[in-house]
Amino acid sequence: METAREESARGSDDDAAQEDTTSVADVSVEVATVDATLNKLCRRYNGRRRRAKKIKKKNPILDLQNLAILITVVVFVIVVIMWSLLWVFIFRRESNSGVYFAGMFRVANVEFIPEYRHADSSEFVSMANRIQHVITSVYRTSSVSRLYKQTVISDLSNNNQGGVLVHFWMIFVVPHLKTPSVCEDCVSAILKDSVHMSLQNRSSVGFLQGLPVDIDSILVNVALRSDYSSTAVGSQCVDKLYAGVPDVSIPLNVFSSWGGLSCYIKLTSAPGSVIRLTVKSFRIDPSDCVYDALTVYDSLLPMRGMILYRVCESVSAPISLVSTSNVMLLSFRLTQGNKIFRGHFQALMEEQCMNTIALPAGPGDAGVITSPFFPSLLPRQCSCTWMFQMPSGALGVALRFQNYMLKLKDLQNCEHGWWKINEIIYCGNYIDYSTVFRIPAQNPEVVFRCSSRSADQSFNATYSSYNTSQPCPEGHFLCSTGLCVEKFRRCDGLDDCQDESDEMFCSKPPKICGGLSPLHPLYICNGETDCSSGKDEINCTQETSCSGVSYQCGNGACILKKNAKCDGLHDCYDRSDEKDCACGNPTASKRVSDSAATQQRIVGGINAMEGEWPWQVSMHFSGQMYCGASVLSDEWLLSAAHCFSKERLADPRMWMAHLGMLNQGSAKHVAEIRRFVVHEYYNARNFDYDIALVQLKKAWPSSLEKYIQPICLPAPSQTFTEGHRCWVTGWGYRSEQDKILPTVLQKAEVSIISQSECKRSYGAVSPRMLCAGVPSGEQDACRGDSGGPLSCQAHSGGRWFLTGVVSWGSGCGRPNFPGVYTRVAKFVDWIQRHIQNL
């Protein structure tokens, strides 16, 4: 900087000298005396020098000012450029972030006219403009007025309650940081509050800017932009069909030409009717509704709160479902390929489900009651009332359900049917066995209400009379399920009551190995020598009557041997017991030393060895270990339903399966998930039917069979006596208080606990559960082990069977509170049905 300043000063002196030279030349033309001329030249020269000095003193300041101006200009230009870039790439994008809502409400006291069904009619346009103006006025004066963009009226339909049902879209332009200000509940509340202010005389109809609106009919759901654009007026993938005549079937066929698109079919019917849709066949790739799917809505817009039914896999047997009003929307999401839908729909007049039934005094079934629109699936809303009349006060009504049971309502809502029987409220639940519900009253009134969020399974029940003082015939035992079984079946080792109530709290049967009395069925051919003579394990391949404790061969014949499957012996005449036995035979590598094994304990567990449990799988959600699973084949895994039942956990795209892994992060194969098959009867409240299948997108390579192997599925008759030793494995926590997961696969040895003892610990334990642990609780599964295997060998050195799936328990490792596992033997048929059909 000093050099620059010196150069500047030198430049100023040169300029001054040039000016002096010019002045001397000019003087020669003046007429004056020499002295005067000299004086004049001196004055002029001195004046120039003083000005030059002043200029030299001012230049640094001027330079600083010029530099400041230059910097300011440059900064200004940069700011303008940056602001423009921010506007283009961030703020403008933020401001163009549309948030879409689909909504509906009923306009009361307005007559529906046929022209409203056509969006291009002048009548529709006029009514739509009026409603649009009203909604816009409400939101323009609300707290979200700056974010509100527009309302689009999609459809006007007639309504079984009278008036006009309005289906509309609302669009907000919202920066991401302000998205919470237009949450679903907030947007809905603005509309409801506007109506609520004008409610009078306990009526549900108020006025929205002068428009009579039923406040109970208002529903607003967040939607996707793709749904809005796909259903917009003029879309090439929206069809509208109308059923004006009841009971006339209108065909519906969709072919692969629709592939790669989201297409919609809007169905409406005459007032006072509902729509029954029948799906005859549907050919798609199963994928948990991620790629191919049919979603049926109880409205004319794709609203989450109005989903009636979803089809995520191919349909071969017909399915029918019924709407709650006279509108229905079919949403097809089809990827490329040979995809075909065949079905039809029809209008049905609303049923008045109310019957008076007179029962005879004699024994035997008197008739059948069914759910509304049986055998169609139950709609989201329905009601039935049955009034029974008995000929005598000593008689009551017995209802025998095939796959349903009633229990007293607790603090939870009824999810599968609400029942009121003689002023007592019950909740219904679906199961896979029969129950009998007895009503000890002469003229009971039975009221049923649908209570599911979507279409539910149908039900039927045979009704008969019974003697209230003696529900079961002489010599019979009354089960907790309401069934009556012969008393001699009590404590015979067979679940005759279908809930094990006939086998609970039985004393252990004596081992009578000599004499004429037969040995108890529990000891016969169970794989253990209970009699010193060995008579209990003789003639085990002898055919016997089929029951829950006999092994059924492929030809349908049953043998006494309970654990005949894959034991290395041909017990069945057709040798079917040794088929499909390439499973449960690990080739564990070098065993770790005991000192190393005890360094990382997980509720009494020790480190596993490489290849010791080749069927163990680690299921990762969003990159984090979340649950376990077991390998059943090169494409299928088995896990727990509660791992995937919640909505946020149901997307298979968020999951990865890590196979052939000993240390976390060292999997031999990592697989994407195609879909989950959660048991249809899974009960999230008590973990009943806590089982799920997991299908991989691609099979794991056979070259990894040293590290990855399936575990054997048990036979339905498989039985292990109390105290049988098994192993539970997983990467779960070491204790309840632990917050660090182990990196090495852990294993813990546990013992099978009798069902009676299990019920003493927990009370509500279903026949589809089993307990395993140790009395001290020091060896147990814990959080993170869910879905993993309980592996058992029928005999030392034999193959390993998947006896249980880690399900639930009271804490981890607590004394007298063993782990509770899903009993896999109860689900073998369910597993095979799904695996073989897909």
Active site residue ranges:
642, 690, 786
Tokens 């990865």, residue? Answer: 656
Angle, alpha carbons 753-757-762 (nearest 5°): 105
DSSP alpha helix (H) spans, 212-313: 225-231
Report the DSSP pairing between strands 273-283 and 340-349. antiparallel
**3-class DSSP state for residue 292?**
coil
Question: What is 362-425 written as a DSSP string?
Answer: SSS--EEEE-TTTTSBB-SS-EEEEEEE-SSTTEEEEEEESSEEEEE--SSPPSS-EEEETTEE
- CB neighbours (10 Å) of residue 514? 11
Q: Distance between CA 726 and CA 719 in Å, rounded? A: 13
Cβ-Cβ contacts under 8 Å for 245 (sequence gap 6 or more)? 270, 347
Phi and psi at 551, nearest 5°, equal -90, 130
Residues in the chain: 838
- CB neighbours (10 Å) of residue 396? 22
* Strand order from edge to edge, sheet including 319-322: 250-254, 340-349, 273-283, 319-322
| Contacts of range 51-56, beta carbons closer than 8 Å, 24 or more positions apart | 52/12, 52/13, 52/15, 52/16, 55/12, 56/9, 56/12
Q: Which two tokens stand for residue 460?
A: 């039927």
Cβ-Cβ contacts under 8 Å for 45 (sequence gap 6 or more)? 20, 23
Q: At what angle do helices 34-86 and 2-27 cross, to 10 degrees?
A: 140
Point out which residues pair with 820 in neighbouring strands.
771, 808
**3-class DSSP state for residue 281?**
strand
Question: What is 338-357 written as a DSSP string?
Answer: --EEEEEEEEEEPP--EEEE
* Strand order from edge to edge, sheet including 418-421: 354-358, 383-389, 445-449, 418-421, 424-430, 404-408
Q: Distance between CA 422 and CA 570 in Å, rounded? A: 58
Tokens 């006939």, residue? Answer: 502
- CB neighbours (10 Å) of residue 71? 10
Q: Is the alpha carbon torsion for 458, 462, 463, 468 positive or negative?
A: negative
- CB neighbours (10 Å) of residue 425? 13
Q: Which two tokens stand for residue 332?
A: 């097809």
Q: Which of 770, 759, 756 is nearest to 823 (CA)?
A: 770
Q: Which helix (H) or strand (E) segment is 661 a member of? A: none
Q: Which helix (H) or strand (E) segment is 68 a member of? A: helix 34-86
Q: Where are the beta strands (DSSP E) in 270-353?
A: 273-283, 293-297, 307-311, 319-322, 327-334, 340-349
CA distances from 271 to 120, 156, 249, 446 (A): 22, 13, 17, 29
Q: At what angle do helices 122-140 and 184-196 cross, to 10 degrees?
A: 100
Peptide bond into 251 cis (omega under 30): no
Q: Where are the beta strands (DSSP E) in 689-812?
A: 692-696, 725-730, 746-753, 769-773, 789-793, 800-808
